[in-house]
Structure 1
Amino acid sequence: MNRSSKIYIAGHKGMVGSAIWRALQNKGYNNLIGRTSKELDLRNQDSVIQFFKSEKPEVVIDAAARVGGILANNNYPYQFLMDNLFIQNNLIDISLKFEVKKFIFLGSSCIYPKFASQPLKEEYLLTDLLEPTNEWYAIAKITGVKACEAIRKQFEKDYVSLMPTNLYGINDNFDLETSHVLPAMLRKFHEAKKKGNSPVTLWGSGTPLREFLFVDDMAKAVVFALENKLPEYLYNVGTGVDLTIKELAETIQKTVGHLGEIIWDKSKPDGTPRKLMDVSRLNSMGWKHEVQLEEGIAITYDWFKQNIENIKQVKLQE
C-alpha cells in the first residue's frame, strides 16, 4: 500500500476511527481524509455519492456506526437497525460503484449467536439465534459482512470484514445512558470516589464473561489488514482472553482508587453469558494484540481525567 494513497476513514472522530487515524499517521500515511457527521451524513445516499465524486478515495475504512450498550440498544432498536444499515450500505455500494481498491468493514462480536460454542469462530456466523438485547445492531452488521463477502465473490474485490471484541480506550463514550460497560464503570467509580467513596451499583450478577481489546490494538489490526491481502472475508479481532464482569469491576475500582462497596443489581439483564473470540485466524496471518487489560485501563483512566470536561457523551434521540 502506497503511503500517499488516499484513504477515507468513515467515523474518524470516534474512538475507533481516531485510533486508526493515529496508527496510519504513525506509519507514514499522509493522504488521510475524514468528515464529521455534520459535514457528511452517511445515511444520505446523495451526499455520499457527491463526496465520492469529489474526493475519489482509493481505500475506505468503515469505522462509522451508531453504537451503544444494552440500555441504548433496548431503548432505540429502530435507530440501531436502520441508521447502521443506511451508513454501511451507502459506503459499501458507492465504494463498489466508484471502484475503491480496498474496503475494510468493522463490525462487532455481537454478530455471533448468543449460545454459540466458545471461543467464537468465524464460521459460527448465522448458525443460531442472536442475543435479544443487541440483535438490531447485530443484524445490521451481519448485513454488512455478507455484502462485503458477496462483493468478494461476485466482483473479486478486496473487501474484508474485521469483527472486534469489546473495545475501549482513548476517545471512548462515557455517557452513562449510551456507553458500553467498561467506560460506564470507569466513570461510575470515578464519580463515587469523588463523593467520598460512595457505593457503586452495577447491572446484573457480575458473572458474565467478557473480552476487552484496547482500541490502539484494534487500529493496528486495521493497518495490518490494509497492508496485507487477506485470503478470507471475515476475521475476528481480540485478545483470546476473557474475565468476569465482577473481575473487570474490581480491576477498574483498583485503578481508580475507589474504596467503597460494589452493589450488583440482579434485577437488570446480564446479556450474553460469554463472548470470547477465537482469534487464531488473524493471529496465524501475523497480527497479535500487545496491550494488556490493566495497562489499557490505566491509560484510558489517565486520558479520562485529563479530558473530563470535554469527554464524549452521546445522547440518543427518539
Structure 2
Amino acid sequence: MISKDSKIFIAGHKGMVGSAVWNTFEENGYSNLIGTSSKELDLRNQSSVENFFSANKPAVVIDAAARVGGIMANKTYPYQFLMDNMSIQNNLIASSLAYGCEKFIFLGSSCIYPKLAPQPLKESYLLTSALEPSNEAYALAKISGVKACEYIRTQFGKDYISLMPTNLYGERDNFDLETSHVLPAMITKFHEAKIKGNLPVILWGTGSPKREFLHVQDLAKAVLFSLENTLPDNLYNVGVGEDISILDLANLIQKIVGHQGEIIWDTDKPDGTPRKLLDVSKMKDLGWTAKIQLEEGIQSTYQWYLENVEDLKRVKIG
C-alpha cells in the first residue's frame, strides 16, 4: 500500500519532468523521495542500477529519465536515441520487478503513435501503422517500454502503467537551438532576435502542422493522480485535447516575447507529422484534466527563461 512515507524513486529528477514531479509530490506531502544525478548513477549501466535497487528497494518508481530532443537531434543521432532510451528504461523496469517495486509509472511520448493515424490519437492506435521517420528511433524505444510494463502487468499482476504525454513545455525546459523542441526553440529564437534589434526569425517548415502542448506542471499532477489511484488499464494519453498550428504558435510566442521583426518560413525543412492530437478521454473519464491554458503557460515559461537565460548560456559554454 502506497503512503506518504513510501520510498519513491524519481529517475531523472533533475530534468524538466522529473523536477516538476518531485516538487508536486513534495507539495502533496510525500516525504521519502529519492533521486540520483547521472554522475552518481548511470541508468544505462545495468549492474549500477541493480546495485542501487538492491540498496534502496523503492516502493514506487517514476521513470522520467530519457534522452530527448527535437527533429534535428533525432535525425542526427538515431542510434543513441534508440539505445540510450532502451537501456535506461529496461534497467529501471527489470530492477523494479526484481526488487519488489509496488508501482511503476513509465513516461513516454505521443510520438509512439503512427504518423498518419486518425485524429485524435487513441491508445488503441498503437502499432497499427508506420511511425514518423524523423523520430522513429525514440518512438521505438518508448514503445518497447510501454510493452514491457504491459507484459509485467498481465504476467505478474503488478501495478505498472504508462503515461503518454503530448508535447511538453515549461520551467527547466531545454532551450538549446540544436537539441530543443519547437516551443522552447521558438522562445529562444524570438528572444535572441528581439535583443539584437528585432532581426528576422527563420522557422522550419510551412507552419501548417498542428501540435498539442501540455505544461509540465499539468503532467506532474497527472503522475500524482496515477500514483494515488489504481488505474484499470496499462496505457493512458496525457494532454489537453486541443491543438494549435505551428504558425499560430509562432505568432503567440512572438507576441509574448515582444519581438517586432519578420517571421520567415524555411519550407525546404521538414514539417514532421501533419497533426498529433491526443484523445484524452480515458484520463478525463477517471477524473483528471489539464488546467493550464497555453498562453498562460508560455508566459510563465518565458518568465523562467528570462530569469535563467544567463545561467543557460554559461552551461552551454561550459
Q: Structure 2-normalised TM-score?
A: 0.98
Query: How many Å apart are 1:311 and its aligned residue?
Result: 2.7
| Residue correspondence of structure 1 range 1-318 to structure 2 within 5 A | 1-311=2-312
Q: Which amino acid aligns with 1:22?
A: N
Distance 1:55 1:152 in 2: 23
Contact 1:175 1:312 survives alignment (8 Å): no
Distance 1:9 1:254 in 2: 36
Q: Which amino acid aligns with 1:272?
A: T
Query: How many Å apart are 1:141 and its aligned residue?
Result: 0.1
Contact 1:48 1:91 survives alignment (8 Å): yes
Distance 1:312 1:111 in 2: 32
Query: How many Å apart are 1:55 and its aligned residue?
Result: 1.1
Q: Deviations over 1:266-293 (max 9, x none)?
A: 0000000000000000010000000000
Distance 2:314 2:277 in 1: 28
Contact 1:173 1:314 survives alignment (8 Å): no
Query: How many Å apart are 1:312 and its aligned residue?
Result: 8.2
Contact 1:171 1:311 survives alignment (8 Å): no
Q: Percent identity?
A: 69
Q: What SS class does the counterpart of residue 193 from structure 2 fall into?
A: helix
Contact 1:173 1:311 survives alignment (8 Å): no
Contact 2:57 2:100 survives alignment (8 Å): no
Q: Which runs of 5+ in 1 are unaligned?
A: none
Q: What SS class does the counterpart of residue 103 from structure 1 fall into?
A: strand
Distance 1:216 1:302 in 2: 15
Distance 1:215 1:284 in 2: 21
Q: What SS class does the counterpart of residue 42 from structure 1 fall into?
A: coil
Distance 2:314 2:301 in 1: 15
Query: How many Å apart are 1:309 and its aligned residue?
Result: 1.6
Query: How many Å apart are 1:43 and its aligned residue?
Result: 0.3
Distance 1:267 1:204 in 2: 7
The 1:109–1:101 alpha-carbon spacing in structure 2 relative to 1, beyond 3 Å, is: same
Contact 1:8 1:32 survives alignment (8 Å): yes
Contact 1:63 1:106 survives alignment (8 Å): yes
Q: Which runs of 5+ in 2 are unaligned?
A: none
Q: What SS class does the counterpart of residue 312 from structure 2 fall into?
A: coil
Contact 2:106 2:162 survives alignment (8 Å): yes
Query: How many Å apart are 1:53 and its aligned residue?
Result: 1.1
Q: Which amino acid aligns with 2:297?
A: G
Size of the aligned set, in residue pairs, is: 315
Over the aligned positions, Cα root-mean-square deviation in angstroms equals: 1.0
